[in-house]
Amino acid sequence: MRPASAGLTEQEAGRRLAADGPNELPAAGPRRLWQIALEILREPMFGLLLAGGAVYAALGDLVSGVVLLAFASLSVSISIVQEIRSEKVLDALRAMTSPRALVIRDARSRRIPGREVVRGDVVLVAEGNRIPADGVLLEARELLVDESMLTGESVAVAKRARASDAEGAGMRPGGENIPAVFSGSLVVRGTGVVLIQATGAATEIGRIGKSLASIDAATPRLALETRRLVRLFAVGGLLASVAVIVTYGLLRGSWLDAALAGIAVGMAMLPEEFPLVLAVFMTMGAWRISQARVLTRRATAIETLGAATVLCTDKTGTLTRNQMTVQECVAADGSDRAQLLRWAELACVPEAFDPMDRAIAQAASVQTEGRSLVRGYALSADLLAVTQVWRLPGDAQLVVAAKGAPEAIIDLCRLAPDAARAIRDTVEALGTRGVRVLGVAHGVSGEGPLPDSPRGYTFQWAGLVGLADPLRAEVPGAIAECLAAGIRVVMITGDHPTTAQAIAREAGLPADTVVTGRELSDLSDAALRERVASVGVFARILPEQKLRIVEALQARGEVVAMTGDGVNDAPSLKRADIGIAMGGRGTDVAREASSIVLLDDDFGSVVRTVRLGRRIYDNLRKAMGYIVAVHVPIAGIALLPLLTGLPLILLPVHIAFLEMIIDPACSVAFEAEHEEPDVMTRPPRAPDARLFSASMLAGSVLQGVAALSVTAAVYLLAVQRGMPEEEVRTLTFFTLVLSNLGLIVANRSFRGHPFDFLTGGNRVLLGIQVLTIAFLAATVTVPPVRRLFGFGAMHWDDVLMVALACTLLALTLALLRLARRTWERTSGRRFKTDS
């Protein structure tokens, strides 16, 4: 059997590569573009948009047909792009797991692509290298590895060589001073020799990739609800259209008029506005959120933002900067902070990758020109300290500096028991605040032969240096706003419980109870569902445990938003109702698995995004409520002549005007509405909230009945006066359109005054009203347009009749609104949260 130091033969490596496959994540065969498009076109909403456009085109209304088909094409294109982008997540993982590797093959070192590394390979690693696969250390010299992408820990962990052939198997990332290393992690100091034990999908990062591939993002609730309502309206409209055609044809004998009447009724009840408004709101919502430096990768996530009840956040890189800094300096008597930091900097390895060494060097800010390193003593199992010997300009003697575990430095300095006890008390106090503490000592040496061990020098105690990954400045305020909005914040981290608890307290999170990954692994799914209801901090959590926590919260009916930046966060980001990745320091894997990316890594952007999400959902409810309301008078006026035997009023061209000018335009007007005054002081809407609640539908139908009653009264009164059919149609249509505008105004605010559009600042709404009235005027003043609509002349007494009717409707809508508010106060329910 060949010794491990000789590595594999090329022939054996080739056989293992053929048997196990490349050292990369398995990729499913890519879906072709037409397959993705076909899947999307099978969705009822997109199919309805296309069918609606085809109906308009068939009726000869080419402009309306082209507009609707353009909207459908745009929506389909956006969805195709999103589907293609979402498939990049495994590509990003494969890129991270395939760095180049220096291996020993046939007793010679050679560099090969990471994807060609196989089980049994011996790999040499050094500072700045990515570990190409999971393995165990045969040799290790001062080896520190950053595993934060797998564990969430901000501090690199020390590694050692294995003590026996069996040691290292089955170990997980995150342990201090263990012999196992893992694919994708970064060597920040030292060197090592790794025996590869797992490649590709069998590695820790490969398990995350398989987890991602098996997770299906849930279909957004709003999309499901809208889809159900669209189908209901479509079936109802089809049945009503057939019934009208048959009834009209049998009773009046004119099957051509029957067909026109049936088409008009079908178009009046055709719910193409729902998917159209949803598409407009999602597109505009993504644009508005982008103004807050937030990228929306999946527009459907916008609908869920306002319902978030729990925000699960990682610690490292999310609440903290993921950048070690010096937080505390406790200098020895007769010394100061600057001198302490100078000694600590001299104890660091020159040009180190270690984040703590870099933090000390940045804090010390000393000149390094002219000095030379004479000797360095590495960290060892029996002395957890690093010692450097320097020749400094102007010093006759060599300068010695050491830093490391406080106990090791106390030992080097041979301190008295009382002094040692005082230092230990200080270390314990700093540790409870989440600070990683290093002891620092200094000494001098002559030019003679140097000792073989740091214990051969005479050291003086210099003090303690405390380092930590500091909290982001914006975090406490953002968390306070989340709590005020009724959103519970839970920290889930791979870091040490003490550190996690200290950061949680500093951020303003409840930190009395901390559950560790070991404790969590002993809980059943049912027990975990109960436990997550009260725990605010989870520490030492593995990637699959993050996923369990998110799923346990969802099982309780919570709507979960999850922030993160590491590969270890990717499965939970994908499973969460809203995955929020950090765009600056975050990994490509986290960004691709998420639905929202914070471009500036500003945790405060999470709160701004929730605020925008609530505003978007509120305004979407207003728009949907209006659409339900306005279909009542349109369908009623289309059916009334058939029930009474009176002249037809609405023809397809009139429905096209209402549907393709007023409705899509007013969706933009509703989208432009300002947020409600209590948008971030009310609790989230119920997790099982429905956009079309019973109370909302009832209120919208009542509004529609009021508009129908006023319009029908004008119609019947005009017929009773013996007016020509064209003038009856003109009066009725004018009343219907102006009633439509009244319904828009009545639905534009939940809490504010409904008729303040002239001073409310919604310029889009004001523009719609002006354009609509101008177009109405053109239908009676421009002969070709008047003939197209079948209108007659408009007299001043007709204008007065319409004005009185609209005034009556305004008063009725105001009374309905007052009654609704009174009912809300007495029943304790609120319109915007009872869905």
CB 736 within 8 A of CB 633: yes
Phi and psi torsions of 578, nearest 5°: -135, 110
Of 772 and 688, more confident: 772
The alpha carbon of 645 is separated from its chain's Cα centroid by a whole number of angstroms, namely: 57
pLDDT confidence band for 285 (50 / 70 / 90): confident
- Residue 217's pLDDT is 52
Query: Each residue of 805-834: pLDDT tens digit?
Result: 888 988 888 788 777 777 766 655 544 444
- Residue 663's pLDDT is 66
Helix (H, G, I), strand (E, B) or coil at 362: helix
The answer to whether residue 1 scores a pLDDT higher than 50 is no
Helices marked H in 326-443 — which ranges? Answer: 337-346, 355-364, 406-413, 417-431
Query: Each residue of 541-577: pLDDT tens digit?
Result: 877 788 899 999 999 989 899 887 767 677 888 888 8
Question: Two tokens at 249?
Answer: 């044809």
Question: Two tokens at 354?
Answer: 């270690």
- Is-catalytic flag, 425? no
Among 317-321, 368-372, 715-719, where is mean pLDDT lowest? Answer: 317-321
- Residue 833's pLDDT is 41
- Quote the CA–CA distance of 177 and 388 in Å, as a whole number: 22
pLDDT confidence band for 157 (50 / 70 / 90): confident
- Quote the CA–CA distance of 666 and 653 in Å, as a whole number: 19
CB 331 within 8 A of CB 647: no
- Residue 14's pLDDT is 92
Which residues, 6+ apart, have CB-to-CB distance to 677 below 8 Å? 751, 752
Average of per-residue pLDDT across 270-275: 63
Average of per-residue pLDDT across 202-222: 66
Among 46-50, 459-463, 792-796, 799-803, where is mean pLDDT lowest? Answer: 46-50
Q: Which is the catalytic residue, given 61, 121, 146, 314?
A: 314
What's the whole-model pTM score? 0.67
pLDDT confidence band for 328 (50 / 70 / 90): very high
Q: Which of 320, 328, 323, 322 is nearest to 344 (CA)?
A: 328
Query: Each residue of 597-652: pLDDT tens digit?
Result: 887 777 788 888 888 888 888 888 888 888 888 888 888 887 787 777 787 777 66
Alpha carbon distances (Å) from 216 to 90, 128, 672? 14, 36, 33
Buried b or exposed e, range 628-663, using 16+ CB within 10 angstroms: bbbbbbbbbbbbbbbeeeeebbbbbebbbbbbbbbb
Of 814 and 17, more confident: 17
The answer to whether residue 488 scores a pLDDT higher than 90 is yes
Average pLDDT, the chain: 79
Average of per-residue pLDDT across 572-595: 75
The DSSP code sequence of 506-568 is HHT---S-EEEHHHHHTS-HHHHHHHTTT--EEES--HHHHHHHHHHHHHTT--EEEEE-SGG
Q: Which residue has the tokens 């987890």?
A: 211
The answer to whether residue 82 scores a pLDDT higher than 60 is no
Question: Which of 98-102, 142-146, 628-632, 728-732 is modeled with the greatest confidence?
Answer: 728-732
- Residue 97's pLDDT is 44
The answer to whether residue 726 scores a pLDDT higher than 50 is yes
Among 40-54, 220-234, 706-720, where is mean pLDDT lowest? Answer: 40-54
Of 776 and 128, more confident: 776
Of 819 and 463, more confident: 463
